[in-house]
Structure 1
Amino acid sequence: MYAMTNAADGNQILIYTQSGDDIPRLNARVSTGGRGSGGELTSPVDALGSQGSLLLSEDGRWLFAVNAGSDEVSSLEVTSSGLVLRDKVPSGGEFPVSLTLHGNLLYVLNSGGDGNITGFTVGEAGRLTHLNGSTRSLHAGGTNPPSFLVSPAQVGFSPAGDKLLVTVKGSNDIHVFTIGVDGLPGARPVTTKSVGTRPFSFSFDTHGHLLVAELFGSHGVGTPNSGAVTSYKLRPDGRLEVLDASVDNAQTATCWIAVDGQGRYAYATNNASATISGYRIDEDGHLRLLDDGGVSARLPPGSAPVDLSVSRDGRFLYTVNAGRGALDAFRIDPDSGHLTPLGEVGGLPVSDGAVGLAVD
């Protein structure tokens, strides 16, 4: 497991290993070579306002990290002796917050100012080469550093790698760019207005359905206990067809979402409620809550959970709790999807707004 400090005086990756009792333990720290944003720029308990700031390749060989404070992206190799920094390049914009990878094509979301997406190719030695002509402005009209409630939140490839999606909280837009054979996005995206208010993070299930976490669901900005998840079908032309609209979980600030490897369950963290909401996903992409009241797990008071991730074997769920500077672990019941808490381990800073989680 890898988590990120986002420290302004020197960004670091913390490496956790799982022992026989299934509780993660802090094993090592490695510098990204860049600077994080620190917690004072936006919010100490959600410093980047994004999902995907730390990304592990499918083969587990490469780890990529954003350095929001120095506007850079780092490439690190996963070796038997630990992480090794292989490259660090300008992100192509201001305040990089999210990464996505398909094959050797890496895209970064820069959320500062107007925001943009910029592409890179990943070489055999982990070298990152800017893809000429790949930058597309999001015309978000924001600031640098960006404001948490309105900034672009995530960039992600579709499962086939032919589409690139971006959520923008302030405009409630979900942009879908078609990727050409040259790896470049189309000049203009197909844009769908989110069903719910403030679309944040997203994930795809194994059938290709898009699940989007919404801070305030079908309610207005700032409404408590109104978090939700909407499921969509992604059409070949980039349009999004609503399957289940804003399935409420009665929790506050639903921001991050992850799907288990079998595509049966989705889990969302609720920052202000310090809870996790689980959903069952059927084969048609429809959703229903796993637990009454929308609470599949409660975290310690003040946790302020941000990123979460499911292990590749689907057995465990992990969360980064920025408010406590800790990592929490849960076992997933394969038959019901219910979560069993395993414990918490510290090591992450609180004041710098720790973010990012990648699990092998």
Structure 2
Amino acid sequence: MSTRRRTRTKSRVIGLSVAVTTVAAAVATFSVANADEETAPAAAGADHAVFVQGNEVSGNTIHAFKRSDNGELTAAGTYKTGGKGAVATGAPTDALASQGSLVYDARHQMLIGVNAGSGSVTSFSVSGQKLSDRHSVSSGGDFPLSVAVYGDTAYVLNGGGEASVQGFAITEKGLKPMPGSKRSLGVKGPAVPVFSDNPAQVSFTPDGKNLAVTIKSTNSIEVFPVGSDGSLARKAVSNKSEGNVPFGFTFDQGGRMVVTEAEKSTVSSYDVGSDGKLATVSAAVPNGQNTLCWIQAAGGFFYGASTGNSAVSAYRVDSDGKVEVVAKQAVPLSADSRGAIDMAASADGAFLYVQNGTTGNIDGFRVEANGKLTLVTKATDGLPRFSAETGGMEGIVAA
């Protein structure tokens, strides 16, 4: 065989070997990728989920829903908390008369809810829309009704008896009471409070330097400065509310406190000082509705739920913290959805979910560019309607 022919033959053999090796490598890579996709565990943490607290007197439950990309909800399971729900005395539509009774802690991928009828708090690990690893602990007082989380610390607001806040360390095994962390709020009442008198919400400021509590009976906002270790000052700084019956609150992008006031359905905003003192920015801005209690930020707006006439109003808060009503009714009133109470927004602010205590359903809305809301879903699966005897849902989070 000539040297030229031997060279061509050798080149074909080498080329064929390289091609076979390349194909084999590609097949192996494809197989490994598919194997990884098939065996990879679900991502930890809440994802495309909405969780609703049933607050049933016979046994509290968490109702899980899967949220589609267009905001629709599909039932995804119900989980017992191991505790009991409760109803505040005289409550008309909202059993706990509070905001923040169910919270999601993204840092620890944990859902935390209150059992007002058992004086306890329950936590779950969250994966997608699934809950597991349930842990319960005493709330440190009567009628727990709101939870605040910052870093590795949680505080629970106890609204009955001698009202107080109790601190907890957040651990892999749920909440662990922090010795010496309990603080009295200076108000006393029955173990099951009257809905118009009890404290309404506890929350950290966005920087974690203060812990605030709204108290209806004293028309005050109590603010505890917070130490670097999560401990509170021995005594709160008491601030007079601009409107009567301060209830729910949240914070704007500048860290200002935005508070609802139920008596005349108004909203006020405040700068929060490092010493716990509040400085008024907007005072008691009315929305023309009936019994405004809950407030939630979504899509660059703030939404308030007025349970007296089931209206959801839209607000804008400017860069200076001034409050303006954008729409007194961001969505038409509906006979199918009555008793609007607590609300939650998806993490991207695209959707707002509203609990309706009287009719026992969740309305899901798309947030429009002008602040108006477009109904995209209505969920009723297993959700309890409010009843003074059996309880009624309160507490909702979305991811």
**Please, which runs of 5 or more residues in structure 1 have no aligned partner?**
217-225
- Conservation of the 8 A alpha-carbon contact between 2:81 and 2:134: no
Post-superposition Cα deviations, 1:67-126, rounded to whole Å, max 9, x if no partner, equal 000000001000257101431000000000000100110100000012000000011x24
Instruction: String of CA shifts for 1:270-323, please: whole Å, max 9, x gaps.
Output: 0011010110111111111112xx111234336111110111101000011111
2:126 to 71, 74, 78: 78
Instruction: Output the amino acid matched with 1:298.
Output: P
- Summarize the alignment of residues 60-139 of structure 1 with structure 2, pairs less than 5 Å apart: 61-80=109-128, 82-123=130-171, 125-139=172-186
- Determine the structure 2 residue equivalent to 1:336: 370
Work out the CA distance in 1 between the residues paired with 2:174 and 2:54. 23
Are 1:357 and 2:357 matched, yes or no?
no
* AA aligned opposite 1:52: G
Cα offset, 1:260, TM superposition = 2.4
Amino acid in structure 2 at the alignment position of 1:130? P
| Deviating more after overlay: 58-67 vs 91-100 | 58-67
Q: Which runs of 4+ in 1 moved over 6 A?
A: none
Which structure has the bigger radius of gyration? 2
After TM superposition, the structure 1 = structure 2 runs for residues 1-360 of structure 1, keeping only pairs within 5 Å, are: 1-19=50-68, 21-37=70-86, 39=87, 41-43=89-91, 45-59=93-107, 61-80=109-128, 82-123=130-171, 125-216=172-263, 226-260=264-298, 264-291=300-327, 294-301=328-335, 303-333=338-368, 335-346=369-380, 347-350=382-385, 351=387, 352-360=391-399
Distance 1:328 1:136, change over 3 A: same
With over 3 angstroms needed to count, the CA separation of the structure-2 counterparts of 1:81 and 1:300, relative to structure 1, is closer
User: Alpha carbons of 1:81 and 1:315: their partners in 2 closer, same or farther (altered >3 Å)?
Assistant: closer
Q: Which amino acid aligns with 2:274?
A: P
Root-mean-square deviation (Å)? 1.5
Quick one: which amino acid aligns to residue 161 of structure 1?
G
- AA aligned to 1:12 is T
What's the secondary structure of 2:77's corresponding residue? Answer: strand
SS in 1 for 2:358: coil
Counterparts in 2 of 1:21 and 1:203: CA distance versus 1, 3 Å: closer
Distance in 2 of aligned mates of 1:126 and 1:16:
25
Decide whether aligned partners of structure 1 residues 20 and 155 sit closer, same or farther in structure 2, where only a CA change above 3 A counts.
closer
Tell me the secondary structure at the aligned position of residue 337 of structure 1. coil
1:41 Cα deviation after fit: 4.6
The answer to whether the 8 Å contact 1:76/1:126 transfers is no
Distance apart, 1:209 and its partner CA: 1.0
Deviations 1:242-277 (A, max 9, x none): 11111100001100001126xx31100000110101
In structure 2, relative to structure 1, the CA distance for the partners of 1:126 and 1:298 (3 Å cut) is: farther
3-state DSSP of counterpart to 2:187: coil
C-alpha deviation, 1:354, in angstroms: 0.9
Bigger fraction of residues in helix: 2
Task: Tell me, in whole angstroms, the C-alpha distance in 2 between the residues paired with 1:192 and 1:40.
Answer: 25
C-alpha contact (below 8 Å) 1:177/1:186 kept by paired residues? yes
Offset of residue 60 of structure 1:
7.1
For 1:80 and 1:290, how far apart are their aligned partners in 2? 34
Identity %: 37
Question: 1:42 offset after TM fit, Å?
Answer: 4.2
For the residue of structure 2 that corresponds to 1:75, the secondary structure is: strand
3-state secondary structure, aligned to 2:142: coil
Letter in 2 for 1:30: Y
Q: Is the 8 A contact 1:45 1:304 kept in 2?
A: yes
